[in-house]
Amino acid sequence: MLNFILFNVILLVAGFVAVLILSVGVLACSAPIALFAKSGNPPRTVWLPFIGIGAIYQVYVWGGWSAFCVAMTIRFTQKPEVTWDWLYWIAGFMECVSPIAWLAHKEQQGSRSLAEVRGIQKGTMLYSLLAVAAFLAFAFAPSLIQRPYGWASTLLGFAYGGSTSPEQRADSPASGEPRSFKCEQPLPEFTLGRASNPSDTELAKLCACVWSKLPEGGWEREVSAKIRGGEDPGWRGRGFIPRFGAALDACGGRSL
């Protein structure tokens, strides 16, 4: 429960920051247009570029906000103590679109005509669809975040596209080629330490313990079986890796 509350508080505060960043950028783009308007009727070649820059800026900011919501959702659902992933994804999605709705409500309160209200509604619909599309795209393919927002991911400590499955880490030359282990249960092949050499009895106990740590009937066991069978577990695989490692630690695997 505390994790879920913290998750929502972070996104709530970050949502106001995103709105502030958006407002400052839009104001910077619209200020030259206002200056030119005071001098008369400026040609389109003068004010169209600023409108275009402002539109691109808003698209980039709302896309970045969607990427942040996805990144925070992934970070929290990877915690071993978090079991209701779907609840975090629903909350993350709602937090993603709520700043757009809030900003549109504020703009409508200050509108002076029905035409202006309709324009705000159209803009809200457009940016909401953009945020939803970006959220879904980044949720199913988090590595896409790196292309437009890699600099922000690095700054905030997020990393995508570089995670490997337990099987891939076991075969990595950089690991010093420690001994890898297989269980009778449908668990991924794994390594422990470079000098780890548990007996068959110790390994059997470890495997049974790790398997018991994965909730019966939960998605963790399904993902584990897919990885063991060489299948792609999809986006669930990112959440399984830290839980599998936590189970190994809890069962004393690192000390064998």
- What is the mean predicted confidence (pLDDT) over 157-179? 48
Confidence band of 155 (pLDDT split at 50, 70, 90): confident
- What is the mean predicted confidence (pLDDT) over 6-23? 91
Distances (CA, A) of 232 to 84, 125, 222: 22, 35, 11
Q: Quick check: 102 pLDDT over 80?
A: yes
Q: What is the pLDDT of residue 35?
A: 67
Instruction: Return the exposure string of 183-208: e unless at least 16 CB atoms fall within 10 Å of the residue's CB, then b.
Output: bebebbbbbbeeebebeeeebeebbe
Model confidence, pTM: 0.60
Which among 41-45, 47-51, 181-185, 193-197 has the top mean pLDDT?
181-185
Name the token pair of 216: 């019966």
Q: What is the pLDDT of residue 114?
A: 72
- 11 vs 157 pLDDT, higher one: 11
Any residues with CB less than 8 A from the CB of 206 and at least 6 apart, and which?
Answer: 183, 198, 248, 251, 252, 253, 256
Q: Which range (38-42, 78-82, 141-145, 198-202) has the least confidence?
A: 38-42
Give the 3-state DSSP-derived string for the chain, with helices as H, strands as E and coil as C: CHHHHHHHHHHHHHHHHHHHHHHHHHHHHHHHHHHHHHCCCCCHHHHHHHHHHHHHHHHHHHHHHHHHHHHHHHHHHCCCCCCCHHHHHHHHHHHHHHHHHHHHHHHHHCCCCHHHHHHHHHHHHHHHHHHHHHHHHHHHCHHHHHHHHHHHHHHHCCCCCCCCCHHHHHCCHHHCCCCEECCCCCCCCEECCCCCCCCHHHHHHHHHHHHHHCCCCCHHHHHHHHHHCCCCCCCHHHHHHHHHHHHHHHCCHHHC
Tell me if 88 sits within 8 A of 7, measured CB to CB.
yes
Confidence band of 241 (pLDDT split at 50, 70, 90): confident
In the numeric block, the tokens 């449908």 are attached to 186
Name the token pair of 223: 């993902």
Q: What is the pLDDT of residue 46?
A: 64
Q: Quick check: 200 pLDDT over 80?
A: yes
Tell me if 80 sits within 8 A of 243, measured CB to CB.
yes
Distances (CA, A) of 245 to 54, 76, 167, 197, 215: 46, 16, 12, 18, 15
Extents of the domains making up the chain: 2-156, 166-255
